[in-house]
């Protein structure tokens, strides 16, 4: 029998028993003349008994071993005594009282606001900026230690490749956290360059802005403008012809550029991520092309501008042996460029610093690495120092683009398993069995008799042969119309029962998750990248079933059926049995180490948009954390706009259609649905997230009827004056786009509430919503800006004094909220 996922049978956690072990009783023979379902069920129970003693002695440390958390999660993730995943925001320096219970974060984010939550809908990305800061500091410390211990006569200053995660707050955090050690950014496209330029205005003046990727005149002009703005910008030549543009445009703009070249090394690794390296790599110049670039620059008097050498062996470099080989080759090229007269200053070793996704510490895998941060840094420093000393070349500044290693750990994707296939023992009475057998053909009856005889003799392989024959004959009879559906179902149940009794039935269940694999875990579908996935709670309980995960999309590839450790299933718990955990039977799963690439690469297959996002910092409060930012995921209207649809016009079309076909007193006769209710429902559909709503939730644009909204209305108002409420929001940058609409409906504004950089509006009538056209954004949440909030009062525009807005307290103590 196959072992439970993620468990190495050779090193099982103490007390863990796998179904099918020799220590378990052997199955009873299949009965030749079963009289009731009881006999069948008893035989099955005898085959694989539940070990209650093992379940009773299960504990969180066994779950940590089962899911290999100490391997891939250290030092940021662990299991606490409550059986929940715990975040250690400062790594090894985290004190016990500073640990953050991930389940409590999820509850804070997803619970209704009436219960003290933020009302966000799952799936949910939880960001931990403290972890991000620790990763950045750990990388810098590793290189500082290597520089000091090896007597290296220069320093390390890295850059973050923004392609790994372009989220504004991630990039701004990295610039802020890294300013003390001159940490910079790398851009590979024009929009990435623009955001890097903007962010680095608040960073260290010595921080590098490395410009990679294919370039046109506009890209190079932007990079030269950045240099004119006193940003330490380097234009890295990826193609030979780019040097001509740099020479031409730098003269026109009167800017002396800093130029780098990307070299195609002979060194490469053989894994999936090694395809971008070597002589056939997508980017970079051959040695012949580099020599031609040197001659061109020398000819125009710009050889002194050539100051950086860049190379990339490939992501997820598995071992320091391969790393040292590649760095040594690049250092030789660097020294040769110095010999040719270039004023070389920096060697950029690119990406490649890997992380251990499966905790195996293996050097022969695409999802693991066999070294630590310190060993990686030491290998780089030693290789460069050895070559430069031999060539009598001054030690260069060391730079790396270690994006994956910086951001992967700081982000956790949370999603809910909403249902699972039920493992049922087929039930068949003697009467039902007789009815089934009578409907068989003569050949089918013979197969059934042979099956019974083989079971009595204990010839289990022969049983399977007769089962297959019997099933095939029944399928043919069904196609001919001589067998009904109940009889076809009976043969399926009989064959499944036989498989279970002899221990060959597939025990793997399918868990349906409220998620799109294509949107949130695209690398799994695209390149087979594996990530640690496990329950974030109930880890003090023994997982009793094995499962695969099936997403919401109408696509057969929308599933996760491969897991770390080479497993094809995941140990999981029964859904609906976790009430003791305080989550009302909900079952939350987390995908870890997905902070790099997954959000940037995700698409909108089936028009499922991205997840909601919360930003959580460690605090000294009672729960050890504070939510400093919360943003709901894109609404149905948002994802429709991406595909060039216009939700406002769509809503108007449907509303007019309703007015044409729906009577004011109901749809058809006696349905009781009013035109207003129908319009409200349509608006709600456009403005909620595309994912399943498992309970009443306020997310995105949302409609609140009188039953679930406790806002007081005027008791003396007539029926025509009853208010229905629609709440939506927009970012401050969109204000001018909606100002005119605000003026047009100012008598219908119930409240205008500022939270940080965002504004939420509550209108009295959902029908007014179409007046607010794109780019209105569905960010409605009243988020307490606990610690670290920025006061942006000076940049807040105000409504005209004519706006007649009723005051409404939204239940938030945020001092930055202004009510009009």
Q: Which of 64-78, 247-261, 644-658 has the lowest mean pLDDT?
A: 644-658
pLDDT in tens, 745-799: 555 555 554 444 445 555 544 445 555 544 344 333 333 333 333 333 333 333 3
| Predicted pLDDT of residue 700 | 34
Question: What integer pLDDT is reported at residue 105 of this predicted model?
Answer: 95
CA–CA separation, 764 and 465 (whole Å): 69
3 state SS of 397: strand
Percent of the chain with pLDDT over 90: 47
Hey, what domains does the chain have and what are their CATH numbers? 1-56+426-503 (no CATH), 58-125+410-423+507-631 (2.40.37.10), 159-257 (3.20.20.10), 267-401 (3.20.20.10), 636-795 (no CATH)
Tokens of 364: 């022969």
pTM of the model: 0.77
Please name the residue ranges forming H helices in 285-396. Answer: 287-299, 320-339, 373-391
The mean-pLDDT minimum among 184-188, 196-200, 294-298, 740-744 falls in 740-744
Query: Mean per-residue pLDDT for 602-606?
Result: 85
Whether the upstream peptide bond of residue 123 has omega within 30° of 0, thus cis, is yes
pLDDT of residue 695: 59
What percentage of the chain carries pLDDT values higher than 70? 72
Q: In this predicted structure, what is the pLDDT of residue 432?
A: 66
Per the structure block, which two tokens stand in for 574?
């029964």
In a 3-state reduction of DSSP, which class is residue 479? helix
How does pLDDT run across 175-188, given as a tens digit for each residue?
999 999 999 999 99
For the segment 544-559, what is each residue's pLDDT rounded down to a tens digit? 899 999 998 888 888 9
Catalytic residue check, 554 = yes
Q: Name the 3-class secondary structure at 269.
A: coil
Instruction: Return the pLDDT at 45.
Output: 40
pLDDT reading at 678 higher than 70: yes
Check pLDDT > 90 for residue 54.
no
Quote the distance between the C-alpha of residue 252 and its chain's center: 45
Q: What is the pLDDT of residues 358-409, one digit of tens each?
A: 999 888 888 899 999 999 999 999 999 999 999 999 999 999 999 999 999 9
Evaluate whether 211 touches 196 at the Cβ level (below 8 Å).
Answer: no
Q: Decide: residue 768, CB within 10 A, 0-12 exposed, 13-18 middle, 19+ buried.
A: middle
CB 34 within 8 A of CB 48: no
Per-residue pLDDT band for 232 (boundaries 50, 70, 90) equals: very high
**pLDDT of the residue at 621:** 79
Residues ≥6 apart with Cβ < 8 Å to 801: none
Instruction: Give the model's pLDDT for residue 808.
Output: 28
Indicate which residue of 554, 699, 727, 812 is catalytic.
554
Strand 100-101, strand 85-87: pairing: antiparallel
Instruction: Report the mean per-residue pLDDT for the chain.
Output: 78
DSSP 3-state of 100: strand
Q: How far apart are CA 597 and CA 593, in angstroms?
A: 10
Phi, psi of 339 (to 5 degrees): -60, -35
- Residue 292 CA to residue 144 CA, distance in Å, equals 36
Chain length of the chain: 820
Which residues are CB-neighbours of 116 under 8 A, at least 6 positions away?
108
What's the rounded mean pLDDT across residues 648-669? Answer: 74
Distance (Å, whole) CA 383 – CA 331: 8
pLDDT at position 272: 63
Q: According to the model, what pLDDT value does residue 464 have? A: 83
pLDDT (0 to 100) of residue 149? 97
Contacts of 282 (CB under 8 A, 6+ apart): 276
Does residue 584 surpass a pLDDT of 70?
A: yes
Q: Read off the DSSP letter of residue 56.
A: H
């Amino acid at each position: 029998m196959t072992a439970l996922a993620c468990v190495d049978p050779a090193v099982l956690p103490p007390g863990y028993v796998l179904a099918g072990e020799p220590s378990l009783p052997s199955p009873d023979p299949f009965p030749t003349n079963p009289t009731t379902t009881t006999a069948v069920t008893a035989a099955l129970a005898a085959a694989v008994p539940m070990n209650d003693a093992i379940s009773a002695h299960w504990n969180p440390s066994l779950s940590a071993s089962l899911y290999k958390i100490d391997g891939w999660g250290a030092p940021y993730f662990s299991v606490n005594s409550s059986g929940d995943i715990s975040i250690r925001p400062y790594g090894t320096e985290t004190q016990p009282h500073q640990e953050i219970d991930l389940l409590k974060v999820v509850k804070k984010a997803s619970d209704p606001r009436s219960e003290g939550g933020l009302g966000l809908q799952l799936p949910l990305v939880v960001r931990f900026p403290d972890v991000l800061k620790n990763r950045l500091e750990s990388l810098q410390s590793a290189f500082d230690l290597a520089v000091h211990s090896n007597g290296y006569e220069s320093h390390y200053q890295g850059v973050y490749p923004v392609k790994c995660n372009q989220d504004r707050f991630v990039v701004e955090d990295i610039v802020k956290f890294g300013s003390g050690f001159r940490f910079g950014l790398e851009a590979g496209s024009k929009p990435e360059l623009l955001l890097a330029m903007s962010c680095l205005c608040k960073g260290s003046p010595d921080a590098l802005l490395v410009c990679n990727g294919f370039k046109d005149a506009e890209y190079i002009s932007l990079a030269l403008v950045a240099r004119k703005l006193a940003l330490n910008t380097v234009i890295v030549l990826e193609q030979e012809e780019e040097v001509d543009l740099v020479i031409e445009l730098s003269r026109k703009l009167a800017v002396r550029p800093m130029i780098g070249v990307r070299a195609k090394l002979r060194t490469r690794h053989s894994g999936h991520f090694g395809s971008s390296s070597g002589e056939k790599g997508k980017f970079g110049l051959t040695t012949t092309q580099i020599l031609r670039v040197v001659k061109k620059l020398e000819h125009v008097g710009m050889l002194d501008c050539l100051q950086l050498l860049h190379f990339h062996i490939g992501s997820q470099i598995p071992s320091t042996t391969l790393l040292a080989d590649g760095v040594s080759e690049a250092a030789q090229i660097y020294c040769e460029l110095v010999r040719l007269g270039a004023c070389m200053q920096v060697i950029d070793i690119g990406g490649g610093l890997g992380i251990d996704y499966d905790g195996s510490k293996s050097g022969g895998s695409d999802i693991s690495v066999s070294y630590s941060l310190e060993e990686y840094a030491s290998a780089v420093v030693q290789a460069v120092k050895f070559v430069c000393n031999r060539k009598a070349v001054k030690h260069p500044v060391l730079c790396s683009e270690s994006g994956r290693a910086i951001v992967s750990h700081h982000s956790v994707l949370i999603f809910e398993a909403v249902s699972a296939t039920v493992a049922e023992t087929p039930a068949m009475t003697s009467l039902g069995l007789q009815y089934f057998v009578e409907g068989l053909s003569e050949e089918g009856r013979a197969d059934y008799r042979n099956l019974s005889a083989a079971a009595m003799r204990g010839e289990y392989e022969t049983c399977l042969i007769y089962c297959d024959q019997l099933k095939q004959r029944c399928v043919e009879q069904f196609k001919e119309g001589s067998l009904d559906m109940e009889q076809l179902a009976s043969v399926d149940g009989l064959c499944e029962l036989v498989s279970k009794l002899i221990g060959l039935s597939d025990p793997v269940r399918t868990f349906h998750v409220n998620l799109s694999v294509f949107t949130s875990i695209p690398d799994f579908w695209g390149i087979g990248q594996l990530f640690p996935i496990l329950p974030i709670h109930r880890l003090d309980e023994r997982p009793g079933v094995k499962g695969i995960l099936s997403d919401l999309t109408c696509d057969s590839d929308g599933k996760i059926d491969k897991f770390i450790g080479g497993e094809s299933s995941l140990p999981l718990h029964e859904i609906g049995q976790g009430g003791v955990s305080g989550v009302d039977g909900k079952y939350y799963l987390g995908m870890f180490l997905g902070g790099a690439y997954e959000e940037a690469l995700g698409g909108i297959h089936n028009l499922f948009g991205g997840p909601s996002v919360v930003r959580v910092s460690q605090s000294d409060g009672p729960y050890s954390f504070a939510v400093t930012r919360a943003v709901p995921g894109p609404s149905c209207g948002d994802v429709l706009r991406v595909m060039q649809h216009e939700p406002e016009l769509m809503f108007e079309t449907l509303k007019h259609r309703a007015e044409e076909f729906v009577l004011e007193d109901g749809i058809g006769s006696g349905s009781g649905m009013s035109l207003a209710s129908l319009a409200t429902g349509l608006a709600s559909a456009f403005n909620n997230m595309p994912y399943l709503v498992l309970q009443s939730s306020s997310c995105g644009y949302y409609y609140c009827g009188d039953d679930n909204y406790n806002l007081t209305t005027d008791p003396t108002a007539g029926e025509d004056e009853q208010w229905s409420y629609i709440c939506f929001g927009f970012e401050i940058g969109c204000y001018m786009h909606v100002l005119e609409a605000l003026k047009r409906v100012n008598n219908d504004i119930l409240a205008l509430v500022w939270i940080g950089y965002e504004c939420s509006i509550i209108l009295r009538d959902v029908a007014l919503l179409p007046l607010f056209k794109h780019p209105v954004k569905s960010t409605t949440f009243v988020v307490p800006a606990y610690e670290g909030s920025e006061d942006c009062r000076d940049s807040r525009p105000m409504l005209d004094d004519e706006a007649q807005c009723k005051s409404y307290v939204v239940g938030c103590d945020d001092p930055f909220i202004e009510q009009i």
